[in-house]
Every structure is written in structure tokens, then in C-alpha cells.
Structure 1
Amino acid sequence: MIIQRISIALLFAVFSCTAAAEERPSTEMPVRHAELLENHCFDCHDSATKEANIDLESLSLNVAENMATAELWSKVLGALNSGEMPPEDSEPLLDADKLAFLEDLSQKMVTARQILSDSGGDIVMRRLNRREYANTVEALLGVRPDVTTLPDDQATSGFDTAGASLFLSSDQIEQYHATAIENLKLILLPRKRPAAKTVRIEPEEYYTPHYADAAEQMRDIGKRANAFLSQSEKPASEFGLLDEYQAKKQKVQKWLPLMEDYLSRPETQTGIMLIMTIKQGGYTKVKLPTQHPDADGKYRVKVRAAMYPDADERHHYLEFSSGFGTGRKLLGWRKITAPMEDPQTIEFEFTHEPGAKQQVWIHQRSHQDRGDKNLATLDMWDNGIGTPPGIWIDWVELNGPLPSDQTMAIQTARDSILFEQSSDLDESEYAHEIIRRFVIRAFRGSQPSDEYLKRLGRHFQTARDQGQSLTEALVSPLSIVMASPSFLYQVEQSNSENGRDLSPDELAVRLSYFLWSAPPDEELLRLAESGRLSDPAILASQTERLLQDPRSSAFIEGFVHQWLQMERLDMFQFNGVDFPNFDNAVRENARQELFQTFAYLLKNELPLDKLLKSDFVVINDLLAGYYEIEGVAGHEFRKVSVPQNSLRGGLLGTAAVLAMGSDGQRSSPVERGAWVLRHLLNDPPPPAPPNVPQLSRLAGKILPARELARAHQEQPQCANCHQKIDPIGFGLENFDAAGRWRDQEVIGLGKRRYGRWDDEVRFDIEPSGMLPSGELFSNFFELRDAVAEHGDEFARGFTEALIAYALGRPYGFTDQELANQICSQAKLHDHSIRQFIHALVQSSKFQTR
């Protein structure tokens, strides 16, 4: 339906968190617009004519009267936005009339969409999303399953906890069943795990002779190519060549100087120098022994290394990654600071998942795609040998597999399933008891019926009759349990049209999935079983316990990622030549900066508005290098004070937020401005209209961002939104697409070879603008200050997002009083993030179905 193009917008963005209960906003179009429809539309779309089966004469001015009315108004909005209506042979609309009509209708449609999607507080019984399912399986079995083949949980809007978006089909049930079988076999069936051992790798034993061979091959083919080209009698085949084209291509071995430089250095006889080689993505790297499926556990890596002082600072970091082929998972980074004459030994740990095959590599910091290769080629043009080395590695030691938290969790899970059989239980009774206990754990404390247990018992017996061992036969019934609705869903019985209080067990489940994205632990279930969890004081203490537990990181990352729409951080590739420092390391650590900053505020009970502006950042050494902040050593994230005039301190100065407001090449004032309105000012703009007209008169022109935006505002259907959005984005234009400060916008011209443009044009940046509420600003610092004055609006938007995430449904009109109560309570405690969470958990809506 067309109305689905309208995103779910947050209501009452203009009201502060302490506002009293509001009246339902009007969705009635002003009567003056009825005259516009009559004068320009009724010739074709009145009740008699109904061209295209559209009757505007009978159309209610109440946009939200019902879904059909809203759909028709949405068609009107789309037709006017696209310029389709009125048709060319009709009297045109005056720009002022069109702008006023579109502005009113856009806002009414936002409100209508909110009201019509409001569930009235009803919470849909929902399937576990991918994150919750993985955590639930891990809590039950100690094994973290591969969820990449399971249903995608990305909701069309809102959060991945929204029940209405979490569908389940018969095919998907089969996927869950297959995943359950795979993971049950890992913990129940005997596996021969290898003993821990230490492997020492001397990289020069492979790389030095390998590069010597490569250099000799380059010399040889170059000589043969030149020999062939210097004569005309003999065919190319006699020189070991295909044809003249290959000979011309091979006569100059442009990467040979790099190989010869590598081999000429004495340190390459006792270690490896990390460089970028001829192949795409072909940086030198140390390959660790492959970890096979039964070799799960923790591995400890030791690296003795030193850095070359003249190298770029980013090349002083080792990058650890895993994967085969093109697929790679980034594991972490460590900075090397020791000089060549006194190398240092650094340690790094990684965990190998059971059942997987893993290959781990050690190499220099890298870009996506061809970034490093292009940079090395450009360096070769300048210096003849390519990108200078940053790190030398003497040796590497790998020790493992060692017992890990996961190893112990798997053993604990296995012991809890295959508990010691007492003498008074025969095999059938023992299997029945195993299944019964497993079902109770899998169903989060719910008791199974006798009939259900009997059916599972029959599956066990069938497998035994087929010759399977006791543990093998248990896989069948237990996998059925893990593919059943009571496991895959958060089950809350609904026995009344008017709702009811959650049972203590249901409350325990809702609380743990809210704050851990995982099932309740034994303590929570014990309190639920005793009925004490419903006591407000006990519930508050358990909320606090869950927040202090490391498992609360699932809430922080799951909520913050979706609340701030961080999926945009992975949408675009940043060209390594234009943004040499914005590599994989910065992208991943910038993501963590937002999580770690939120976690720091939560842990230390600091105000939410520190996300708008603060005198500190939460970073590590890698981001400190990117932000040019001195005095930060070590990969751990920590609070770092910054001066008042610092560019950093608050979301608007973070690399993640600024990179999300770009397309990987140019900054986007529109994306950045809309993001600020949506997430910081709680004043989300209406969705972009369909069929926005192309600005053909600008085709092929190189213009600064402000001039491009001004051209959009010439269109009435565009001006409505861009007048609010663009000025905010202009205030962030001093940051390039990757979040680094600049005084001019630089745009490449001509052809591009290896990422370098033939020419460029520069535009001075004009960072002044105005917030929708009227505050003027002349630069980024004044913009940040102005946004920071809207702490109440920010808190309100945060509250509405928190409600939607926790309750598993879109925030609706009926939640306004709840949002008021939460905001009011949090404001009494200086908007501490913990207080928002406590107020929500203590509310009746959180505790009712």
C-alpha cells in the first residue's frame, strides 16, 4: 500500500518530556484546501466522473478517518509531489498554494500513519529475532549457533524486536530444526578434542624464499619479453610468451623494485616486513595454523614485533582477521610502538567456535576492496617501491586450544542434560527425565504437558530402535523442542480482550529479553516461581542486577545500533585514496565508540544529554589517532577528557555519525540534517516523496553542497522538507564524508586512475544555518550548542524508542502518558539513562499483556 511509504514518525516532537497528557493531534486538513481540490481536481475526480476510480469530492478531510481514506490522501500527496497532477493541460497550482497544501498534508499524513499503526498497547506474540535466538541457544547449550541462514529480522521500520515483523514459515521451522540438530550433536556426541600445544612461526622461513622466487620470476619474464621485442624473426612461444601483447605488458616489471627492496633489507632474513604486494589485497601476512571443527576453545597469540618510525601512524597497527577466500571477519587491532633495535611482544586472544573451521591471519591495517592496492600503486609512482613498511615481525607463537568460558559453558550444558543416572531409573525413565528437564529449561520455566512429553519420548524410542546410542537418540526429541513455538516465541497468554497482568514467569522473560536479549537465568526464574519478582522493590533490584551484568551489552548494542540507524555505517565503501585513514579499523572502532559511550553513561549514571555535548569522549588509541587526540595508549576504550573547543564530544562529532551522513564519497547535508531531526531533536521529517523530479538543469555541473540543496528548494514539493533539513546539514559540512575536519570541499574532476583524479575543484564551506525552532548558528560549534539546548526533546525521542524496543511494537498514541511518566521520573534524576529503564520496567504497560 502507498501509505506504507510513510515511515512511523514519533508524535509530539515539539513537546518537552515534562508535558502533561496531550490531546490526540488533529488529522483534519484545513478547510481552505478543499477549495484547492475543487478548483483543480474535480473536473476529473468528482463523484460523477471518478477518473482512474478516484473520487476526491467524497474524500473526508480527516486524513486518518480510516485506512482507505489515508491511502487516497497518500495518492494525492504522491501525485502532487511528482508533478503528475494537475496535468499539463490544466490550470497550474500557484507555488505558494502548492507549498502550503503539501506542508499541511505531509504533516497530517505523518500523524495519520502513527495513529493508524498504533496497536492500542497490544503486544504481538513474537518470534525470537536472530540476536535473541543465538543468545538463547548459547544459554541452553553453551554453543553459539550460525544464524546467517535464519530469517532476516530487519523490520521495515523500528526495531528487530517488533513482533509484527517477525514472521515464521514452515521452511524457516525446518531451518531452526536443522540448526538445533547440528548444535545438539556438538555437545552430546563424543568429540576428540586436541590437546593444547604451542606452535612457533618464523615467517622468514616462508616469505623470504617466496619473495626471492617471485623476484627471480619477474626478472626472467622481463628479460624474455625484452628479448622477444628486440627481434622479429622468432615467435613469442619460443620465449615462453603468448603473444606480443603479453610481451609489451611484461617488459617492465613495475613491482620488481619492491621485491628487491624487501630482499635487500637484513631484517627480512630473520622476520617478515609487512608491505602491500602486487596482488589485490595482497598485503604480507602471517598465516596461523588452521583451527579445525573439534579444536574449539581459546587461543593465545604472541607476536614479537617492531615498527618503522617513518611510516604512517596507521601502519603501526597489527590487524587480526579470520576467514577463508573473500569472506573476512575482523578480530582486533594492536599498536606496535617499539623501535627496531628493541622489539616488543604483544598478546592477542581469540575464541574458536565449536564445529567451525577457522583460519586466522596477522597483517597490517587494511581497507575494503582495492584501497590498499591503489595507495601502494600511487606510492610506487612517487618512490618506485610502493607503500613503505610499517611493522616488522620477528616471530609469532600460537598456544591452544585452551579452556574458555564457552568450553566450560558447553560442559555445564552437557552435564545438565546428561545428569548422573540414579540406580532406580531405567533407560526409558532416565530419557523421559532428561527430556522433561530440557523442555522446562528450553521453555523458560513453563511446564510441559504429559502428552507433549509422551510424544517426545516416542521420538527417542524410535531412534533407539533404529540402533542409535542413548545420546544420539536424544538429539531427535530435543531438536524438536528447539524448533517448537514455545522455544522460538516469547509466549505470553492472552486470556482477556482488556489485557491482564503478566505472570511472574512471563515478567521474568520479558525483562531478560529486554536487557539481555536472552532467557532469564536461574535467579530470575527462582524469584518468578516464588512470586516475589512482582514486588516493585525486588523487580527494581533485579533490573539493576541485569544492567550490571556483562550480558547487558546485548541491550546496549542491539538498541543503540537500531535507535541511531547505524546500519548506514556499512552501506558504502570509502575510497582508500580519498580517505586513506578511514579503513576497516576506524569503521569498526567508530561503531564501538557509540556503544562504549552509551555504556559509560549507563554505568556511571550520567545524563543522557551527554550524548549531545560533553567534555569527554570514550575512545581507544586507534580512534585517538584518527581524531588527533594525544596521550591515549592501549586498545581498551576509556574516558578521555577533551578541551571545550574540541571537535569531539557528543554524537555530532563522532566518525560513525558523520560517515553515516554521506554516500562514501561526499558528505550529505540532507542525510545529516534528517538524522539530527529524527534522532536528536525528535522532529522527524516526513518521508521523501515518491517520484521526486530530477534536477536536469544541474546535470554534469560541479556544485558545492549548499548550491545543490538550494536547487532542491526551488521545487515546492521539495522545499517543504528541505527548508528544515538542509540548514542543519550545512552546519556539519566542515566534516568530510569520513568525519575528518576540512575548510574546503574538494571534488575530483576528469578521469580516475587507481583512485587519483586528474584534477579537482575546491569550494569554501559555509557552515551557517538555523534550527527549525529558530536558533541561528554560524558554525559547527554553535550548531552543537544549539542542539544541546534541546535535551528534553532528545530525552522524549529516546523514551519513545526505548518503549518500542522493550515492548516489541511501534510506539503509539496510547503510549503518550507512559512516555510522559518515564520522562518526568528520569528528569528528577538528571536524565540518567538507568532511570529511563527503571521507570519503564516499573510501569504497568511493561508488566501487562
Structure 2
Amino acid sequence: MTLPIHPGNLPLRPGLAGVLLAAALALPVSSAAEVPPELAPPDAVRHFLEDHCLSCHDTTAKGGLNLEDLAFSADEALHAAWVRVHDRVLAGEMPPPEKPRPAAGEKEAFVAALSRHLEAQHRQSRGATLRRLNRTEYQNTLHDAFGAWVDVRAILPEDPVVHGFDNLGTALGLSESQFQRYLDAAGLAIDDLRTATPALDGKAAAYSLPNHRIGSSKPGPLRGSEREKIWLERPDGAIVLFNGASHISADIRDFRAPAHGTYAVRIEGYAYQSREPVRAVLRGGHFNSPGAYPPVVGLLEYGTQPRTVEVRTFLRAGSQLRIVPELALNHKLMQDQGPAGYDGPGLAIGRIEIQGPLDAASPVPGQKLFFGPLLETARPTRGRRPLLEASSTRPSQDAATILADFASAAFRRPVSSQETAPFLALFEKESASGEPFTSALRTACSAILCSPQFLFLIEPPGPLDDHALASRLAYFLHRGPPDEPLRRLAAQGRLRQPAVLRQETERLLRDPKSARFITDFTDAWLNLRDIEFTTPDPRLYPEFNASLQESMLRETRAFFHELIAANLPASNIVRSDFAMLNGRLAQHYGIPGVEGAEIRRVRLPLDSPRGGVLSQAGVLKVSANGVNTSPVIRGVFVLERILGIYPSPPPPGTPGIEPDIRGATTLQEMLIKHRESPQCQSCHTLIDPPGFALEQFDVIGGWRERFRTLGEGEKVPGSLNGRPIAYRLHQPVHTAATLRDGTPFEGYRDFQDALLRQPLPVHQSLTTKLLTFATGRPMGFSDRSEIEAIARQNLQRGGVRDLLHAIVQSRIFQEK
């Protein structure tokens, strides 16, 4: 890997460009050239191919693969091709059943010889790539190390995703345009540190809804501009909301977050004219532009008795809050009767109290690092955004001290004067050109935040030293840089001691920052980052709303957290006797007795199809397209995400399978016909059965016996959200299938039983995913034996927390 940066193409001042580019281009980022380009195949491999493979897999490639000319090269694609050959022979899939069988011991000799070669090849190449911090890690590092809140997602491009992961070093390059954006982000981070913020007492303050838009309290029709006034003020002072439309949602009046941080928002409310709970979402962010819909930061649910719900959420400075009820308004009745005469349900909001930021620190760590001993004398500039300025009577000496500390925090380890010399020289050059002390220091510190030592995790091939191990552990479990205890142990040379490393792993898991790991890992492992990629058709799925979608995310993250916190076996991924639910999800799943917006552990009825990961609504939503489900897409999802099996892509020109949404033909019938093609049969006998098992669940994870359609079918009586149900019920769902090993199943629970009878693949897959996420590299052939050993040990005794400890203690984790 090389860094594609060219000095002449970057719009930087020559001094800054020179320092950064020289550092980037001098960094040894790859040792791939040391890997032999091609090796001769071992005799046992060559003889086996000649006797059993080349009759179909010769230069004619009539078997779909030319083994005669397939080189034994370190090239990634060629290596992967030989791995597939190894695996198919080992599994007995090749030679095919109709061909003569290898003699006794011949297959074993072939597999052993090829395995030794592939292990050596992968072991030599696996430490060849450096890993750049992805956007999330970069943002977390700016905050954790310096206290800077910079929304780099608005600045930096999206990171490439490979097999679900966006932190793999092989995909995280650095282009010229990215380099310039990193420089922009670094400048914004420094300015954020310099921002003079007023002292905050953190006390709670009372707020209310904007009652100037409340409709008349008198019954009667609405006229003219009154048609937008569909709020009602109650005698107890509560404001009743009847609709969640964006132009009628309730902004919390006069509140703007005074600083970045965590806030406690307490909202009193009750269900008005409704025996059923009334739900709402709390959105937080900037609502300046028309149609702006910032993210959901809290879930609200109220019964008939007044209660106060507390939401704790991070808000950026200037953020506003908006309450959006999830209610269906009968517009005609509202217009005819007015708010006071309307007899439909509403949400009554009473006292609102907001406290925060709860975690504000003054000064932030980065201010101390940036100004050093000069912080006490720093003074704000004038203007709309006052920035702290400092002056020095001995600028070079002060700058040298400041840059050493700043670089040590940025590089996540001690630094030498030789390492900081280029940045000090840049400071002095800026000062000589007439730049004030703070401005010159800003340039030098921005250069540090764009240097390879900051942007990349520097891990030379071989065993990690203590500082590299501290960074790997921190970016794994906290998604950010090592904290002071980790760095102190690394400096003492004690972190590699197994007992110390276990103690620190446990400490990081107990820390609230481990929630970042749970979010980022489940986003990658189960593709939850794509939860908003599709919007279910409201005619087919009128019950879907923002509250349900947010609950979906929280369910899966809470479930994985519970597996870790309670150290539950990984087999719970397939089936568990509990689910993490709130009132909204319980209603969606048909589980009685659960109320409130808080996600908590709920024991499931014995006959419930819920429990485990695959029946969770969020997982089922991201594996569907918003209109219909596909056994192929869901089958591939199960194989890759749960079992760690990666089917070969379809041959070029193979047409896709799309269901007839009018219900004229079932997708199962179409796929059975599709499998009649010899070139499709081998993969679809593997892919389709898991997908058929999940056909029992619809696009949003609801249980179904028949498909919904907008065409012909049985009409569904009643209404939902105040409107007649538009969809109809058509053909029944068929979920019976046969796994590739010949195991038949009749439905989803039978499929779960089949997976639980052979649980090792689930443990191996989870181990592989966690190690991939932890190391920032794909697991390869030389990692297989250790992964299997970890998984087998965890299967025999241990839970998911034990698995995390085993991973951190592994050779794979502790080596580049």
C-alpha cells in the first residue's frame, strides 16, 4: 500500500504541505514486496489435480475454473481461489459424486500439502498493511484525547465497507482529496478547543411548549389559519398534541443546547382520550431547514396517568429538541369540531425539565494540551465566536513543550524530540512569517492531527509492543484512543502480562464507552447501519413508524450487550428464552404485559418464535427491501453473518430472481425452477433453505402466515392509524426446505433446531467477526486453527464475555 499524495496537487502552504507529505511518503506502509510473487505447487497438490480435477478444470474452464493455469501467487484473488479449492475438496464437494473417488489417503495428502502452502503464504502477507482510522475512530479520538467535538461525518467521505466492516486496513486508503479534508477537520478541531465557552452550572431548567400556536379552546369548526391550530391547552396547563406531522410537532420553546455534552431531558405527560398507551419520539438537532428531520434521541410512552419520562442523550451545541407524537389525526373531524370538541386520542405534555451538559469539563483536555502553561493567560477574541488567544515571551521554548505533549496525546505514546522537530520547525517558520503565536501553534498542531502517526495505527509486523497493544485494545472495546490507565501500564511495560491484560479488558468492558463497541460492531456484523436504507411501503406496512425503527436498533444492541453482561453462551444468537423489548416492540411481536419505552429483558412464552438474533425486527428489516422479502438475500445474510459461509457470486450474466408482487407466483416456486440450472444448483441448495426459514417474517419483522399484497387477495377488515387497511392477504407462506446436508425442516423453529445441533459454526463465525473487527484485517487461512480452538473452547465452557477475553489473549490479537 502506498499513500497517493503528491505535493504539487495539494492546496496547502508550502511549509505545512512539505512537513506532512514528507512524513506520509517516508512511512513504511507495506512489506508486500517481500512476498514471493509465485511458487511451484507441491507434488501432492499437482498429482491430485492431474488425477481428479484437470479433466474439467483445464484451460477450457468448462468446470468454471481453470486450475491448469492458476498460479500459486501471493495475489489476493489467486490465494482466495486456492482456498476455495482446498475447502471444497476438504468438504467432499470435489471431485463431484459422479466422478471416481480418490484413493485412501490421497485426499488427506492433498489437503495437508495445500494447507501448509496456504498458511505460509497468508502468514507472510497478513501484516503488510497499515490501518487508517475510519471516520468514527477519528472523531472519537479527537474527543477522547482532546475534548474536541467535530462532526467529521459532514467533512470526510464514507469509509469503504468490506464484508460489513468499515475499519479494514486493506480498504482504508488515503487520497489527495481526503488528505485535504483531514486538514480541514484538524483546523476545526483546534478551533473547537479554542472556543471560549461560558461557565455552566449544570442545573436543571424548566421549559414548555410554544403555546402561541395552540388552537381555540371552544368547540366548533376551524376556519382559515385556524386549520393549522390543532393543539389544545388543558386546565392543568398541559398542552395536548394530536398529530406527528412535521409542521405540527412540538419544539421545546427557548431551548438550545449551550454546549456539547450529555443532557437529561425529563418530560411529564399522559395519554389524552385514549385507553391505549400513546407514544412519541424525541428528536434532537438543528431544525432550521424546511423538512429537516434530525435523528431520534429518545422514546416516549405514556398511559392514562401522568408520569415523567427521562431521556439521556448527547446533544451538540445549538441543538434543539422536538416531540413528535405517533398519532393518526382524523382531519375532517378536527376541522369540523376543533381541538376542544375533537374526541380522538392525543398526547398531553406537562412540565419539561432539562439539565446539562452533565459531563462538561472546563477547561477541556485539549485546551490544556494546546495552551500548556499559557492557558491561564489566554483571553478570548471579540466576535460572534470568541476564540482563546495566548502570547508568549519565549515562543520557541513554550511551543516545544506544548507540541511534545500534544503529539504524545495524538500519537498515543511517548514521543522524542526528533519526532516533534518538524512540527516545531513549522511553528517557527510560521512565526517568522509574521503569524501570531496562537496562529502559528494552530498550524503546527493541525499538522500533527494530519500526520501518519495520528491518522494510522502504526503496527510493525510481529508481536505488538505495549503501546500498540494498548491502542488495539482501546480501539476495539472503546472505539477510541487508550486512556491514561492503559497508557501508564504500556509505559511500564506491564500490559502484555496476561493477568494485567485481562484486568484491563474487564475494566474497559465495564466502562460506559463500551457502548460504542456494541453499536459499531452490531452495525458491521448485522448491517444495522443500513436500517434507514429502505422505507417500508406505508400501504403494505402501515404499522411501521419512527418509534418502531428506533426500538429495532435498541433491541439488537441491548441483546448483544446482555450476552456480554450476563456472559451468556453464543448459542443465544440462534435461540434465546428471552428478548430485549419495550412496549412498542412487544406490541409488534404480539407479546402481552410489556409497557413503557425502556428496553429490558423479557422472558418469552414457550411458543414464541422470538429470541435470538434472526427473529429481531431490525435484522429482518435490513435483509429486506421495504416492499417484499427475498429468500436469496436473507439466505446469504444468514450464511455470511451467522455461519461465516461466503457463497460464490453468481456467474456473469445470471438473471436475478424478483418476486411477482401481485402474488401470481410464489418466490419459492420460482427458485425451485431456478435451481434446475446446473450452474445455479450448487449455490442455491446452500443459500435458499435459510432464506425460506425466514420467510415466516415480513419486511418489518412481523410474523406472517400469508403474504400481503396490493393486488388480488382477501380483504382485511378494520383500520389502522385512522385509515382503512389497504393491503390484502394472498398466498400462504411456505417455509419447508432441506439443508444441503440433507436435514429437512418445516419452519423457522425447526431451522433453529438444525443450527443448534451443530453449534460450532456459529461460535466460529462470531469469533472470526470479532477478531476481524478488533484487528482491522480480514481473517485468513493461517488464522483458522487458532480461531477454531478459541471457538471450541468457548462452546464447551464459556459465554460471550469469556469469548472477548479469549480473543484479547489470543496470538492473533496480540500480533500484527
The TM-score normalised by the length of structure 2 is 0.77
Report SS of the residue matched to 2:170: helix
Mark the structure with the bigger radius of gyration.
Answer: 1
* Map 1:467-506 → 2, pairs under 5 A: 470-493=437-460, 499-506=461-468
Q: Which residue of 1 aligns with 2:280?
A: 317
Aligned partners of 2:767, 2:185: CA distance in 1, in Å? Answer: 36
Aligned partners of 2:296, 2:815: CA distance in 1, in Å? Answer: 42
- 2:347 equivalent among 385, 392, 397: 392
**Contact 1:204–1:270 (CA under 8 A) maintained in structure 2:** no
1:307: Cα distance to partner?
0.7
Letter of the 1:173 counterpart:
F
* Map 1:397-412 → 2, pairs under 5 A: 397=352, 399=354, 402-405=356-359, 407-408=360-361, 411-412=364-365
Letter of the 1:448 counterpart:
S
**Contact 2:558–2:599 (CA under 8 A) maintained in structure 1:** yes
**Contact 1:825–1:835 (CA under 8 A) maintained in structure 2:** no
Q: Which residue of 1 aligns with 2:718?
A: none
Aligned partners of 1:611, 1:534: CA distance in 2, in Å? Answer: 31
Q: Which residue of 2 aligns with 1:804?
A: 772
Deviations 1:217-241 (A, max 9, x none): 279xxxxxxxxxxxxxxxxxxxxxx
* 1:637 and 2:599 are equivalent in the alignment: yes
Letter of the 2:348 counterpart:
I
Aligned partners of 2:509, 2:80: CA distance in 1, in Å? Answer: 45
Q: Which residue of 2 aligns with 1:351?
A: 314
Aligned partners of 2:613, 2:293: CA distance in 1, in Å? Answer: 29
- 2:173 equivalent among 167, 176, 197: 167
Identical amino acids, percent of aligned pairs: 27
**Contact 2:164–2:527 (CA under 8 A) maintained in structure 1:** no
1:631: Cα distance to partner?
3.2
**Contact 1:118–1:810 (CA under 8 A) maintained in structure 2:** no
Q: Which runs of 5+ in 1 are unaligned?
A: 1-22, 46-54, 78-96, 102-107, 220-255, 367-371, 494-498
Report SS of the residue matched to 1:362: strand
319-328 vs 127-136, greater mean Cα deviation: 319-328
Q: Which residue of 2 aligns with 1:817?
A: 785
Aligned partners of 2:65, 2:570: CA distance in 1, in Å? Answer: 48
Aligned partners of 1:777, 1:378: CA distance in 2, in Å? Answer: 51
The verdict on how the C-alpha distance between 1:420 and 1:694 changes in structure 2, with shifts beyond 3 A counting, is closer
The verdict on how the C-alpha distance between 1:542 and 1:64 changes in structure 2, with shifts beyond 3 A counting, is farther
**Contact 1:609–1:794 (CA under 8 A) maintained in structure 2:** yes
Aligned partners of 2:484, 2:44: CA distance in 1, in Å? Answer: 44
Letter of the 2:326 counterpart:
R
**Contact 1:276–1:376 (CA under 8 A) maintained in structure 2:** no
Aligned partners of 1:749, 1:488: CA distance in 2, in Å? Answer: 54
The verdict on how the C-alpha distance between 1:210 and 1:162 changes in structure 2, with shifts beyond 3 A counting, is farther
Deviations 1:655-687 (A, max 9, x none): 112222321111222222222222333333222
Q: Which residue of 1 aligns with 2:87?
A: none
* 1:289 and 2:254 are equivalent in the alignment: yes
The verdict on how the C-alpha distance between 1:758 and 1:34 changes in structure 2, with shifts beyond 3 A counting, is same
Q: Which residue of 2 aligns with 1:762?
A: 730
1:128: Cα distance to partner?
0.5
* Map 1:191-340 → 2, pairs under 5 A: 191-192=197-198, 198=205, 200-208=207-215, 215-217=222-224, 262=230, 267=234, 271-276=238-243, 281-289=246-254, 291=256, 295-310=259-274, 313=277, 315-324=278-287, 325=289, 326-339=291-304
Q: Which residue of 1 aligns with 2:413?
A: 445
Aligned partners of 1:696, 1:594: CA distance in 2, in Å? Answer: 29
Aligned partners of 2:218, 2:773: CA distance in 1, in Å? Answer: 55
Report SS of the residue matched to 1:600: helix
Q: Which residue of 2 aligns with 1:151?
A: 157
- 1:570 equivalent among 525, 532, 536: 532
Aligned partners of 2:185, 2:644: CA distance in 1, in Å? Answer: 41
Letter of the 1:205 counterpart:
H
Q: Which residue of 1 aligns with 2:586?
A: 624
Q: Which residue of 2 aligns with 1:139?
A: 144
Aligned partners of 2:681, 2:627: CA distance in 1, in Å? Answer: 25
**Contact 1:504–1:534 (CA under 8 A) maintained in structure 2:** yes
**Contact 1:99–1:716 (CA under 8 A) maintained in structure 2:** no
Letter of the 2:782 counterpart:
T
- 2:649 equivalent among 678, 687, 699: 687
1:456: Cα distance to partner?
2.5
1:377: Cα distance to partner?
7.7
Aligned partners of 1:120, 1:634: CA distance in 2, in Å? Answer: 52
Q: Which residue of 1 aligns with 2:368?
A: 415
1:192: Cα distance to partner?
4.3
**Contact 2:623–2:634 (CA under 8 A) maintained in structure 1:** yes
Aligned partners of 2:796, 2:726: CA distance in 1, in Å? Answer: 59
Q: Which residue of 1 aligns with 2:182?
A: 176
Report SS of the residue matched to 1:643: coil
Deviations 1:269-320 (A, max 9, x none): 955432338xx7444323443627x64445444433221354765x433433
Q: Which residue of 1 aligns with 2:88?
A: none
Aligned partners of 1:769, 1:383: CA distance in 2, in Å? Answer: 56
Letter of the 1:291 counterpart:
R
The verdict on how the C-alpha distance between 1:784 and 1:60 changes in structure 2, with shifts beyond 3 A counting, is closer
Deviations 1:572-592 (A, max 9, x none): 111233223322222222122
Aligned partners of 1:25, 1:838: CA distance in 2, in Å? Answer: 38
* Map 1:779-794 → 2, pairs under 5 A: 779-794=747-762
* 1:842 and 2:809 are equivalent in the alignment: yes
Determine which structure has greater relative contact order: mean sequence separation of CA pairs < 8 Å that are 6+ residues apart, divided by chain length.
1
The verdict on how the C-alpha distance between 1:73 and 1:559 changes in structure 2, with shifts beyond 3 A counting, is closer
The verdict on how the C-alpha distance between 1:810 and 1:301 changes in structure 2, with shifts beyond 3 A counting, is closer
* 1:724 and 2:650 are equivalent in the alignment: no
* Map 1:634-783 → 2, pairs under 5 A: 634-693=596-655, 702-749=664-711, 760=728, 762-783=730-751
Aligned partners of 2:372, 2:73: CA distance in 1, in Å? Answer: 58
Letter of the 1:413 counterpart:
G
1:536: Cα distance to partner?
2.0
* 1:608 and 2:560 are equivalent in the alignment: no
Report SS of the residue matched to 2:268: strand
**Contact 2:141–2:480 (CA under 8 A) maintained in structure 1:** yes
266-275 vs 651-660, greater mean Cα deviation: 266-275
**Contact 2:238–2:350 (CA under 8 A) maintained in structure 1:** yes
Aligned partners of 1:57, 1:829: CA distance in 2, in Å? Answer: 43
1:323: Cα distance to partner?
3.1
Aligned partners of 1:384, 1:664: CA distance in 2, in Å? Answer: 36
* Map 1:93-132 → 2, pairs under 5 A: 120-132=125-137
**Contact 1:768–1:779 (CA under 8 A) maintained in structure 2:** yes
Corresponding pairs, count: 719
1:774: Cα distance to partner?
2.4
Aligned partners of 2:665, 2:343: CA distance in 1, in Å? Answer: 36
* Map 1:339-378 → 2, pairs under 5 A: 339=304, 343-354=306-317, 357-365=318-326
* 1:507 and 2:469 are equivalent in the alignment: yes
The TM-score normalised by the length of structure 1 is 0.74
**Contact 2:663–2:711 (CA under 8 A) maintained in structure 1:** no
The verdict on how the C-alpha distance between 1:73 and 1:408 changes in structure 2, with shifts beyond 3 A counting, is closer
1:404: Cα distance to partner?
2.6
Aligned partners of 2:269, 2:44: CA distance in 1, in Å? Answer: 66
1:490: Cα distance to partner?
0.4
1:129: Cα distance to partner?
0.9
Deviations 1:305-363 (A, max 9, x none): 221354765x4334334333334333334444343xx5334333443324xx4232112
